[in-house]
Structure 1
Amino acid sequence: MAASSSSLAFTACRGDPELVAPARSTPRGIKRLSDIDDQGSFRFYRSVIYFYRSRHGGVGDDDPARVIRAALAAALVHYYPIAGRIRELPGRKLVVDCTGEGVSFVEADADVALEAFNDALCPPIPCAGELLSLPESNSAVVTDRPLLYVQVTRLRCGGFVLGTQICHNLVDAAGITQFLQAVGEFARGAPVASAPSVQPVWARELLDSRDPPRPEHRHLEYEPASDEANDKLSPGGVDGLIHRKFLFSAADIDALRGELPPRLRSRCSRFLLLSAFTWRCRTAALGYAPGDEVHFMFVVNLRGVSVTRTTTPPLLPEGFYGNALAFGVARTTAGELCAAPLSRAVEMIAAARARAMGDGYARSTADALVTRGRPRFTTARTYLVTDLTRSSLHEVDVGWGKPVYGGPATTTLATFHLPAPGGGIAVPMCLPPEAMERFADGVRAGIAAAAAGSSRVEDSSVLSKM
């Protein structure tokens, strides 16, 4: 296990924002967002940032700002709702007014080389505010303004940074990846008159509530924790907190897997394993009382999962780029979580995942959101994680090859599992300084104990054969 942070500082010189509209005329009209899309917690702009090396000896236009501006215009012909504006109807219902006005685009230059970032390319990206058009926030006004903000920042070394921020009510991680891959196809030379290899599909009605709504499941993600006001962290911001990246190598993960009973080892994913381990370490580091309720919440991708309870369950079609997700929630007390073996936390998270992927859970979620007034999900005493290790988010090629880094620019109380070199996983963490030190100590001790246990098992196995 390794941890790191960075103190890099620089300033970007930005041009004036401009609107990039679709390259040709597009349909006008109102499109409803789904009842999963327009929940309160998604009213913000999610950042995705890419770092690219310089292109030497290449062909075509070498100004990334010019290339990406033209590719955006071509892609928006097919993803024309992104060029529109969100409006709010009675009952806090959000819709997209397909006006074709366009997305915000800024080009910039920074007197810094890509190499200066070293191993700091993990959220929070140093000086992310210089590489993005908007200040990062977990809430924002999303109506009557561009739905996508793009900044292309040329670096001193010839490389560049593509910073994007898109309204989460419109897309999830898979959706923005699909759109950016279309932008990449046009940037790499696909004819402007052609269509993307994956055709976008709206189909938001598949994730609407029923009429009348009738939730069939209990949705812990929208229920406040007991004694919510007495939390160890303020859900409203990250002032006074510090960020560190924790890198778990393939060997660390193997050592932790050895802590599980044989029946779980082969069927426990890396996400389940590291989630259980870091949830326990984080809970202990924050110093919750044994009887305090704690949550682990995580995103479940609904693509390929039945979204309704029917005899022939409909699946979301290929090309769907809306929010196709639900939240799994494991809930227990701090005392039970930290006293029980690692396998207990694994089993709780696995059970929560199975519930969220069950037939009809997505439609029940939409029903619950409508009946409760489209609330925000609970954050008190909650460790929220999104797994991006199997996402194509970090592979978007806009003509300069695959990025050195592609993923979120920042992290707050929520975090991500991100792919790391050598089969490892990077986990950014945001905690108060004292809790961060306790967390690092707990992770270090836990990995060391797991590795020592693995060594003892190997020694025993060797001795038994002598």
Structure 2
Amino acid sequence: MSDMILLRLFVTRLTCGGFMLTLRLTHTMCDAPGLHLFPNAIAEMATGAHAPSILPVWERKPLFARDPPGITCAHHEYEDVIDHSDGSYASSNQSNMVQRFFYFGAKEMRKCHTLALKINPKQAVRISCIVNARGKHHDVHLPLGYYSNAFAFPAAVSMEELLRKNPLGYALDYLIVSDTTRAGFGDANFGWGQLVFAGPSKALDLISFYVQHKNNTEDGILVPICLPFSAMERFQQELERITLESKEDICNLRSTRITSMM
């Protein structure tokens, strides 16, 4: 850690008169809601403010673990990733990875990912959704300017065979999706007009983000995906098939709810 650069900031001027502001940081410093405080502070001072309206706060005591630490429930999110020893997903071959962008939700992504990777039908698969500890729905009482990490990523688990054979409503039964499109990156005003895009520059291996984005005049959610080339082709085909399912199939929710162990 001592040799790592904690934060890098790049500004690229464009021939059209605009610019790109790029941040690269060590994630141990902050999460997305905390990170957005930094460009917002720059934007405020660029437009005449002498100090940020929200001062940074480094107060980590509310999130300290119990003493002594103790595990009180199963944490599937920390288990080893899917066994790809059968060659179903060559994650080590980075030259084979491709990036694509789609407009859709977490329930479709879960099923498409599973089918595209050709996982063993008897193998358990999981999806994790980031849950923010900030806000009125959680009793953490973090100060307004708190910028360090304050999130968890509980996992929903299912057998691949069940996920493949059941309608989309089966996957939906497993999910409680946290809306990460409200991190606030698009709210910064540097005095140069409305932002065209604000969010991650690309996806990571099997990790995707919800990015608030405007397609022409229509507001939507942009989801960057990173998969091996062959898996990406199957992913696109499966997405097309799922979006053509009838409304009855998509809304065929099972009566049995899967309760999170978190």
TM-score, length-scaled by structure 1: 0.49
Equivalent residue pairs, number? 246
1:443 equivalent in alignment to 2:235: no
Q: Is the Cα–Cα contact under 8 Å of residues 197 and 213 in structure 2 kept in the other structure?
A: no
Label 1:227 to 1:286 Cα distance change in 2 as closer, same or farther (>3 A).
closer
d(CA) in 2 for partners of 1:208, 1:234 = 37
Q: Is the Cα–Cα contact under 8 Å of residues 82 and 125 in structure 2 kept in the other structure?
A: no
Matched position secondary structure for 1:423: strand
d(CA) in 2 for partners of 1:323, 1:306 = 17
Aligned to 1:407: 199
Aligned to 1:24: none
d(CA) in 2 for partners of 1:331, 1:451 = 25
d(CA) in 2 for partners of 1:289, 1:186 = 54
Q: Is the Cα–Cα contact under 8 Å of residues 290 and 334 in structure 1 kept in the other structure?
A: yes
Question: Partner amino acid for 2:226?
Answer: C
d(CA) in 2 for partners of 1:229, 1:453 = 34
Aligned to 1:209: 65
Q: Is the Cα–Cα contact under 8 Å of residues 299 and 325 in structure 1 kept in the other structure?
A: yes
Matched position secondary structure for 2:181: coil
Identity over aligned residues, as a percent? 35
Aligned to 1:39: none
Instruction: Spell out the pairing of 1:274-313 with structure 2 (5 A cutoff).
Output: 274-304=105-135, 313=139
Aligned to 2:15: 156
Label 1:229 to 1:302 Cα distance change in 2 as closer, same or farther (>3 A).
farther
**Superposition deviation, residue 294 in structure 1:** 0.8
Question: Partner amino acid for 2:180?
Answer: L
Which of 424, 427, 430 is the matching residue for 2:220? 424
Q: Deviations over 1:63-86 (max 9, x none)?
A: xxxxxxxxxxxxxxxxxxxxxxxx
Label 1:337 to 1:219 Cα distance change in 2 as closer, same or farther (>3 A).
same
Q: Is the Cα–Cα contact under 8 Å of residues 111 and 163 in structure 2 kept in the other structure?
A: yes
Instruction: Spell out the pairing of 1:246-261 with structure 2 (5 A cutoff).
Output: 246-248=102-104
Aligned to 1:434: 230
> Based on CA coordinates, which of the two structures has the bigger radius of gyration?
1
Matched position secondary structure for 2:153: strand
Could you list the runs of 5+ residues in structure 1 that have no partner in the other structure?
1-141, 249-273, 308-312, 354-385, 455-466
Aligned to 2:174: 348
Q: Deviations over 1:395-445 (max 9, x none)?
A: 222221231111111212211122232232222111122221111111112
**Superposition deviation, residue 388 in structure 1:** 3.3
Q: Is the Cα–Cα contact under 8 Å of residues 306 and 314 in structure 1 kept in the other structure?
A: no
TM-score, length-scaled by structure 2: 0.84
Q: Is the Cα–Cα contact under 8 Å of residues 276 and 342 in structure 1 kept in the other structure?
A: yes
Q: Is the Cα–Cα contact under 8 Å of residues 387 and 418 in structure 1 kept in the other structure?
A: no
- The CA RMSD measured in Å over matched residues stands at 2.4
d(CA) in 2 for partners of 1:335, 1:282 = 13
Question: Partner amino acid for 1:220?
Answer: H
Q: Is the Cα–Cα contact under 8 Å of residues 182 and 196 in structure 1 kept in the other structure?
A: yes
d(CA) in 2 for partners of 1:346, 1:321 = 32
Label 1:145 to 1:424 Cα distance change in 2 as closer, same or farther (>3 A).
closer
Label 1:327 to 1:236 Cα distance change in 2 as closer, same or farther (>3 A).
farther
Q: Is the Cα–Cα contact under 8 Å of residues 238 and 412 in structure 1 kept in the other structure?
A: no
d(CA) in 2 for partners of 1:336, 1:279 = 12
Q: Deviations over 1:231-252 (max 9, x none)?
A: 733455633111111134xxxx
Matched position secondary structure for 1:245: strand
Label 1:224 to 1:394 Cα distance change in 2 as closer, same or farther (>3 A).
same
Label 1:346 to 1:171 Cα distance change in 2 as closer, same or farther (>3 A).
same
**Superposition deviation, residue 174 in structure 1:** 0.5
Aligned to 2:40: 181
d(CA) in 2 for partners of 1:452, 1:236 = 40
d(CA) in 1 for partners of 2:89, 2:96 = 10
